[in-house]
Each structure stands twice: as C-alpha cells, then as structure tokens.
Amino acid sequence: MKNENDALDLVQDTVYKALISIKKLKDPNHFSTWLTQILINKALNLIKKNKRIVPLTEIEGVRNEENHPLEDKIDLVEAIKRLEKQYQTVIILRYYKDLTIKQIAEILKCPEGTVKTNLHRAVSKLKLDLRKECI
C-alpha cells in the first residue's frame, strides 16, 4: 500500500467488515479464502480511491540463505514487478501465500482453468525474463 498507515487502515477495515459480515459466511472451512477476498476487495477499492498502483516492493520470506542468495531473490521480485497485474496476483497467491488453484479461483472469482492458464503464462514470462537478465 506504499505506506504503513494505509496498510494498517486496510487491515482494520478488513477485520471490521469481516466481523460485521461473519453471518454471511456460508462455509466456515472457507474462512481464510473469504477473509482474503475481503482484504483484496478493500485494497482494490483503496487503490482506486487514491488512484495509485501498489508496488511489489517486498515479499514475505525474502532472506539471505545459502542456496538462494538475496541477489537472486531480488531479481525474481523485480521480474514479478514487471509482470501484468493478473500474473503478479496468481504468482503471489500460489507461491508466496501457498494457496491452491481452487482457493485462488475462489478469491479471484474466475474458473480454475483461467487460474492455471495465468499461472502457466506467468511462470513462462518469468523464465524468459530471468533468462534475458542472465545473458
């Protein structure tokens, strides 16, 4: 959200909306997906309201590890930033949030096949982009 205050407001609004709407949740097993969808909707509304784009500046879990140097991860983050928003979203939800294809489809309100296609295209574009950087 570019700054901590916007992020905190977003979390607060999400929790408030969830508490008010908890009775509308049909299946308690999908609570996490439902809450994530509320968060995404609130974030998109705030972005539209402020007419800004959310930069992908930091991804949870980026650490300097022996097998995966920080420089390699930074290259990956930069490559993800260059993807179209639809591809960024599926990559982050799948590989950084460890959601299943089905959960991603529910969050994005689209067919599982579309999620698989977007995921495949995103990975292909990332591979191509990272190969170009290496050359």
pLDDT tens for each residue of 115-133:
999 999 999 998 888 877 6
CA distance 61 to 59: 6
pTM, 2 dp:
0.50
CA distance 107 to 98: 13
- Please give the C-alpha separations between residue 107 and each of 104, 112, 129, in angstroms, as whole numbers: 5, 11, 27
CA distance 37 to 18: 10
Q: In this predicted structure, what is the pLDDT of residue 119?
A: 93
Judge whether 1 and 43 are in contact, CB under 8 Å: yes
